[in-house]
Amino acid sequence: MVSPILELTNINKSFGHVQANKNINLKINKGTIHGIIGENGAGKSTLMSIVFGLYQANSGSIKINGKEINLRSPRDSIINGIGMVHQHFMLVENFTVLENIILGFEGETVFGEKLQKAKEDLEKLCQTYNFNIDLDATISDLSVGFRQRVEILKSLYRGAEILILDEPTGVLTPQEVDELFKILRSLKDEGKTIVLITHKLIEIMDLTSEVSVMRQGEMVGHTKTEDTSKEQLAEMMVGRSVLLRVDKKEIKKGETIFKVNNLSVKDDLDVTRVKDVNLEICSGEILGIAGVTGNGQTELLEALSGIRKVESGNIELFGEKISDQNNFLNPRMLKEKGLAHVPEDRQRMGLISDFKAHENLIFGYHDQEPYSKSAILNNKEITEYSNKVMQEYDVRPNSPNLITSNFSGGNQQKIILSRELNENPKVLLVGQPTRGVDIGAIEFIHQRLIDMRDKGAAILLASVELDEILSLSDRIIVMFDGKIVGEKENKNVTDRELGLLMAGVA
């Protein structure tokens, strides 16, 4: 038995009082694709950042090819053949591909010969792996999929033998994911070792030969992928058994209550991001908006919820025109008409993270009885209500006086949901309800949305997670470049079909 290419022993790391990694042991064998799976905040990224030299462990040892090494900075890791593709790409947007790749490894003080040589070497690498990247293109002109390839190319050029990818598929269309997996498999065949960090079970089953599971900063299991199943892995991740499928009753469609006619919306930079969009939602129906991030979903939701100006077109609620370019209702008036909004970016728009949980739980309704009377807050009433609702929504820890930012992503989302759903809205706009939310909470949130639908609400769900769209929606529209490029009843639709639409090809 050869020694593993990468071996971690008793790694510990804490940030302040939070221990992100506890006594982690991990062995990764050469020439394999090794998955590391765990919920958000389980410590996967921290662990790999330690391997990449970005963070320094408080204790523990790292061996590469059986030799103990001391990683003080990413430079040490790169020299030892470790490359990492981060979740948020580490690229300078106004630099060219070439400039980004040679950064830090220029090999000469004044650009000249070595730059030419680097270019030739890179062109060869591109040909070998079929990358099809223009080295002189500026990063900001490239699609997300291409940027990721630049990151991979960067690691390869720097001589990576071990390539770590942190949640690489989060921003890709299914087709781009296929391409990526093809590249990763061919890298494996060349003898490179791949470490895939993900929270998506399906990717683990598809691609890896071995998998390690993390939970709350600890390594809770290692197994060969062929010996396990999705259900088993999910259970290891969460620590209890979870339901991976959503139970959904047959749709009981009511009349159309929300209608959008020829809507166009501009963003802050005055670029038209939503182009002539038409849609309608019936009561008792979930309409899913699929699309790659940045194709106008954000601006559409903002316009519908009254926080962004309508450029042209109009919005109807119960047959009454509520917004057009001249006048629009603000979020408060919309709330009174029965429209609720769970914003995409909960840190920025859904919550005030420095406030206590009970304050966020009633925010927006704080001036209404029973929470306040003649402009004075009724703290007793608020606390009572908070205790009740936090129990009902299973918010952990169940302490209304805790500062909101101390809750996990999933629990913060539950706080928002409880606030918006408790008013029994007729129309519910939901953006990315499970982004950064752990599996256990996802199950809960999905169930709540289904309950609302069954109670007769019209729900608009925008999500970049195709699985979520497919499992919740009754009808699906796909947005690309601000336009609706396809609409399908959610019956026998495959993620491939949607993927083609999302990429703007079909």
Partner 1 sequence: MEFLSDIASLINSTLRISTPLVFAAMAGIFAERSGVIDFSLEGKMLMAAFVAAVGSYYLGNPWLGLLLAIIVCVCLSMLHGFASVTHKGDQVVSCVAINILIIGLTTALAAAWFGQAGLTPTLNEDQRFLEIHLPFADALRDIPVIGTLYSDILSGHYVFVYLAYLSVPLVFWIVFKTSFGLRLRAVGENPSAVDTAGINVFTMRYKALAINGVLIAFAGAHLSTAVNANFFREMSAGRGYLALAAMIFGKWHPKTALIACLLFGFTDALQIRLQGVELPAIGEIPVQLIQALPYILTVVLLAGFVGKAIAPNAIGQPYIKER
Nearer to partner 1, 93 or 367 (CB): 93
Give 496-503 contacts, CB < 8 A, sequence gap 24+: 496/174, 496/175, 498/174, 498/290, 498/466, 498/469, 498/470, 499/173, 499/174, 499/175, 499/466, 500/175, 501/290, 502/173, 502/174, 502/290, 502/291, 502/292, 502/295, 502/478, 503/173, 503/175, 503/176, 503/292
Nearest approach in angstroms of CB 128 to partner 1 is: 23
DSSP letter for each residue of 265-312: EE-TTS-EEEEEEEEEEETTEEEEEE--TTSSHHHHHHHHTTSS---E
**103 contributes a contact to partner 1 by CB under 8 A:** yes
**52 contributes a contact to partner 1 by CB under 8 A:** yes
**492 contributes a contact to partner 1 by CB under 8 A:** no
**84 contributes a contact to partner 1 by CB under 8 A:** yes
Within 8 A by CB and 6+ apart from 297, the residues are 289, 291, 344, 431, 462, 479
**92 contributes a contact to partner 1 by CB under 8 A:** yes
Nearer to partner 1, 46 or 434 (CB): 46
Piece of the chain touching partner 1 by CB under 8 A; list 102-110, 125-133, 290-298, 398-406: 102-110
Give me the phi and psi of 312, to 5 degrees please.
-155, 165
Nearest approach in angstroms of CB 63 to partner 1 is: 20
Within 8 A by CB and 6+ apart from 381, the residues are 370, 371
Question: Count of CB atoms within 10 A of residue 417's CB?
Answer: 25
**157 contributes a contact to partner 1 by CB under 8 A:** no
Secondary structure of residue 47 in the 3-state scheme? helix
Phi/psi class of residue 437: alpha, beta or left (left: φ > 0; alpha: ψ in -120 to 50)?
beta
Q: How far apart are CA 413 and CA 434, in angstroms?
A: 8
Q: How far apart are CA 212 and CA 37, in angstroms?
A: 6
Piece of the chain touching partner 1 by CB under 8 A; list 72-80, 227-235, 348-356, 495-503: 72-80
Nearest approach in angstroms of CB 109 to partner 1 is: 6
Give the ranges where 374-438 is alpha helix by DSSP (H). 379-392, 409-421
Binding mask 11-50 for partner 1 (x = CB under 8 A): ----x-----------------------------------
Member of 70, 94, 327, 374 binding partner 1 (CB under 8 A): 94
Nearest approach in angstroms of CB 408 to partner 1 is: 14
Give me the phi and psi of 215, to 5 degrees please.
-145, 125
**86 contributes a contact to partner 1 by CB under 8 A:** yes
Nearer to partner 1, 97 or 300 (CB): 97
Nearest approach in angstroms of CB 154 to partner 1 is: 8
Member of 93, 123, 451, 481 binding partner 1 (CB under 8 A): 93
**374 contributes a contact to partner 1 by CB under 8 A:** no
221 beta partners: 213
**363 contributes a contact to partner 1 by CB under 8 A:** no
Piece of the chain touching partner 1 by CB under 8 A; list 22-30, 106-114, 245-253, 310-318: 106-114
**Number of residues forming the site for partner 1 (CB under 8 A):** 31
Member of 104, 159, 239, 254 binding partner 1 (CB under 8 A): 104
**75 contributes a contact to partner 1 by CB under 8 A:** yes
Nearer to partner 1, 241 or 405 (CB): 405
Contact between 174 and 495 under an 8 Å Cβ cutoff? The reply is yes
Member of 21, 32, 100, 434 binding partner 1 (CB under 8 A): 100
- By the criterion CB under 8 A, which residues form the site for partner 1? 15, 52-55, 73-78, 84, 86, 88, 90-95, 99-100, 102-106, 108-111
